[in-house]
Amino acid sequence: MKKKLITPTLEYLKFGNVFSGGVENFNFKMFPNIGENKVKIVVWEGENCCEKSNPLFEETFDLSLDGLEKAIAWLDDKYEVADIK
């Protein structure tokens, strides 16, 4: 059974804070864009940071409660189907 991903609150992102998380070699980073009211999520594999890795997946969601719920569901789905060891 895979571990549960830890994700930020909406308030954390609404203050413009970037959030990084992951489990083992599955990594993700959330980039809020306050001006556009969006949050971009980048998923990558490996030990390197986001900026030094090739993204496996990228998606943008509304920076709202509904958008964050959709973003977390999308992220959980990518984590479940990812064949990352």
pLDDT, residue 62, reads 98
Query: Does 19 reside within a domain?
Result: yes
Tell whether the model's pLDDT for residue 3 goes beyond 90: no
15 pLDDT band, cuts 50/70/90, is: very high
How many structural domains are present in the chain? Answer: 1
For the record, the structure tokens of 34 come out as: 């306050």
Query: Does 17 reside within a domain?
Result: yes
Please compute, for residue 9, the number of CA atoms within 13 A of its CA located in the half-sphere on the CB side: 3
Query: Does 2 reside within a domain?
Result: no
Tell whether the model's pLDDT for residue 1 goes beyond 70: no
Query: Does 4 reside within a domain?
Result: no
DSSP 24: T
For the record, the structure tokens of 52 come out as: 């030094």
Query: Does 5 reside within a domain?
Result: no
Query: Does 3 reside within a domain?
Result: no
Tell whether the model's pLDDT for residue 85 goes beyond 60: no
**Structural domain harbouring 14:** 10-81
What number of other Cβ atoms are within 10 A of residue 50's Cβ?
A: 16
DSSP 5: P
Segment 23-80, tens digit of pLDDT: 989 999 999 999 999 999 999 999 999 999 999 999 999 999 999 999 999 999 999 8
Query: Does 18 reside within a domain?
Result: yes
Question: Residue 43 and residue 66: Cα distance in Å, rounded?
Answer: 20
